[in-house]
């Protein structure tokens, strides 16, 4: 008696031939994205753009950016909890204080934008 085999997921196939150079490029690109070559070909053939995984250096850079942003936010929050008079004592120059606070706010926003770029 024949058993009925139930297929899950994708099962139609397409066979494509590549030159050795093309094959190597596919294998290298798939590895850079952390994908098997068949998944990489599948995704790219459907106009999806697999992203290369972050290198250890990029990961370390992102962690450093997050830490720097966190430190700036802590400083900003600490200053926010002080009176205007206390801030003037810390900075000794009201114009410099305003510029410093604006600069910190700008850096915090920019670091958040950079972090967002890594996540895309």
Burial zone of 21 (CB within 10 Å; 0-12 exposed, 13-18 middle, 19+ buried):
exposed
Whole-number pLDDT of residue 4: 60
CA-based diameter of the chain, in Å?
92
Query: Are 108 and 62 contacting, i.e. CB atoms less than 8 angstroms apart?
Result: no
Q: What is the mean pLDDT of residues 91-99?
A: 83
Average pLDDT taken over every residue of the chain: 83
How many other CB atoms are there within 10 angstroms of residue 75's CB atom? 13
Q: How confident is the model at residue 15 (pLDDT cuts 50, 70, 90)?
A: confident
Q: How confident is the model at residue 25 (pLDDT cuts 50, 70, 90)?
A: very high
Q: How confident is the model at residue 2 (pLDDT cuts 50, 70, 90)?
A: low
Q: What is the mean pLDDT of residues 33-40?
A: 88
């Amino acid at each position: 008696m024949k058993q009925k085999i139930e297929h899950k997921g994708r099962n139609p196939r397409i066979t494509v031939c590549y030159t050795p150079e093309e094959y190597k490029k596919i294998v290298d690109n798939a590895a850079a994205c952390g994908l098997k070559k068949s998944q990489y070909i599948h995704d790219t053939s459907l106009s999806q753009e697999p992203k290369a995984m972050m290198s250890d250096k990029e990961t370390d850079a992102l962690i450093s950016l997050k830490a720097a942003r966190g430190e700036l936010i802590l400083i900003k929050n600490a200053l926010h909890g002080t009176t205007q008079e206390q801030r003037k004592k810390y900075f000794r120059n009201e114009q410099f204080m305003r510029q410093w606070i604006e600069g910190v706010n700008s850096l915090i926003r920019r670091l958040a934008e950079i972090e967002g770029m890594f996540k895309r």
